[in-house]
Structure 1
Amino acid sequence: MATFWTYDYVCSLHEEWKFLRRSHWTKVKVLYIIARYVPFLFIITDIYLNFSPSENPKKCKILVNIYSSLGVISLTCSECFFVLRTYALWNGNRIVLVAMLSTLFAIIVSFIGICFSAIATSYVTTSAVPGITGCYRSSTSVQFFMPFLLLLAFQLGLFILTLIRAFQTWRTSNGGMHTVLMKHNIFYYACGLFLSAVNVLAPVMFSDPAYYSLLEDLQAFVLAILATRMHLHLWHIDRDVHGSEILACISMSDMSSGDRTITTL
């Protein structure tokens, strides 16, 4: 996964550098930078946690806390991108935005509470996986899958909102930006729902908790790549269409009709 993340970063480096240099500084740009570069720290911490021999349980718990914090930050930033995209699809409906952000906040708080209480009550041991010399947390299956069950429910809610909007606007929306947004959202939610479901079922599929960490990492990495790649792609499309630097964040045109425009989130 470290190789996969590095390869993706190198492949998109030219486009990303152009985006970072030419786009205006906004909150969404800061969100992009956090979502894009926190996984580097996440990877480094995870590799050190797994491959650095350690017999000190206290040190292991500190590393697991750091690793888990970075994972939560990465997942939150990825989901925030698609909260904003869904908000744009709904033509800036404030009620929808407040509902999504309130739900996301409640889920993240619950996610953090369950995750860190699991770390505090779990025991730390060396891995049984051949070649893995580091330590990992061992918690109950409920403590592991509950955060991902909450995340699954939230992603399902966003998916339903996107589908509702798609049915409402499929006859009237002929803008390319709207089509790109819709395709991106549905593809992202499909991947997110699948990975969340896999993490919920992980305790059933695998008996060794050491394998759970791999699936956690995979979801965080894939969602971060999709969120940042799609945002980068959308920015370049909008820039090509307008021929200027109108957008430094997610901005949409032709959301519901030719004469109705949302320019900035």
Structure 2
Amino acid sequence: MMSARSMQFATYIFASMATFWTYDYACSLHEEWSFLLRSHWNKVKGLYIVTRCLPFILLTTNLYLSFTPNQDPGKCRVLANIDSGFGILSAVCSEGFFILRTWALWNNNKILLAAILVTFITFSGASVGISFATTAPAAYTTSAIPGITGCYQSSTSFRLFIPFFFLSVFELGLMMLTLIRAIQNWWIDTKRLYVVLVKHNIFYYTCGLLFSVLNIFTMLLLHYSYHSMLHDSQFIILAILATRMHLHLWRMNRHAYGSGALAHIPMSDMSFANPST
């Protein structure tokens, strides 16, 4: 009975996230098309497109697992592994925006960027290894209750909280770097773009830390589908925040430097460069 309730609750979460993502996409469609058509193609634009599309894949996979009748636990395991892989990729892409933003705040310091990337790659590699090593041998089962479809992981491991712990530590480090730089330059650089950049970073890291703590809590203390119901919710929310904030900064930069300014300014320089650079 508890497993059935957890599956129903997780299904409600996924359906709510699908509705929220669809609503967000509809609200930002005009601005998004303006960005895609007017900005030049570069690596950051490619990162934006990938980050924007991954939540659709995650939601499709979760809804399929929740609503499609499935009597094959092996298929459940394969789909769950695919979902985990795309979830980690979504988190990597979302964090990529804020790695570049933090690098921009530190005037494109290459030593700092190298340290951030080494830490990020180490944490990401460890998270991938732990996630797949833990989920591969896990037992999956399908619902045997009439009217309730889908499959769930009937056994889990406490080690699955480690990737979220790594993510929270990494985001805390980026938050500290942002705060240190903001304190150093607050009275020197008060341009609106700089202030918005700092506020975006802090808000994003705060949301990421909050979700990571919630995921660690559910992983360690809850059972059945409850323990994984917020996994993809975190990745989807972070992807929405990252892309929304990128659009907002792009729009502000165009207003500050002219309609074509950002087309020639890389992401890491957008808050400080002049149109002529």
- Paired position in structure 1 for 2:267: 250
Deviations 1:180-224 (A, max 9, x none): 100000000010000001111113442x23023321021011100
Q: Assess if the C-alpha contact under 8 Å between 2:81 and 2:135 holds in 1.
A: yes
Q: Assess if the C-alpha contact under 8 Å between 1:88 and 1:262 holds in 2.
A: no
Q: Matches of residues 189-228 of structure 1 in structure 2 within 5 Å?
A: 189-206=205-222, 208-228=223-243
Change in CA separation of 1:23 and 1:253 when aligned onto 2, cut-off 3 Å: closer
Matched, 1:98 2:114: yes
Percent sequence identity over aligned pairs? 53
Q: Aligned residues, how many?
A: 259
- Paired position in structure 1 for 2:256: 241
RMSD across aligned positions (CA): 2.2
Normalized against structure 1, the TM-score is what?
A: 0.91
Shift of the alpha carbon at 1:62? 1.2
Unaligned runs of 5+ in 2: 1-16
Change in CA separation of 1:100 and 1:203 when aligned onto 2, cut-off 3 Å: same
Deviations 1:143-200 (A, max 9, x none): 2211101111111111111111111111101111110100000000010000001111
Greater CA deviation, 108-117 or 127-136? 127-136
Q: Matches of residues 89-168 of structure 1 in structure 2 within 5 Å?
A: 89-126=105-142, 132-168=148-184
Shift of the alpha carbon at 1:53? 1.6
Normalized against structure 2, the TM-score is what?
A: 0.88
Q: Assess if the C-alpha contact under 8 Å between 1:78 and 1:224 holds in 2.
A: yes
Matched, 1:63 2:79: yes
CA distance in 1, matches of 2:172, 2:144: 35
CA distance in 2, matches of 1:229, 1:185: 12
CA distance in 1, matches of 2:168, 2:28: 29
SS at match of 1:121: coil
Q: Assess if the C-alpha contact under 8 Å between 1:159 and 1:189 holds in 2.
A: yes
Shift of the alpha carbon at 1:137? 2.5
Shift of the alpha carbon at 1:244? 2.7
Unaligned runs of 5+ in 1: 256-260
CA distance in 1, matches of 2:212, 2:105: 24
Matched, 1:177 2:193: yes
Matched, 1:82 2:98: yes
Q: Assess if the C-alpha contact under 8 Å between 1:54 and 1:135 holds in 2.
A: yes
> What amino acid is the match of 1:250?
M
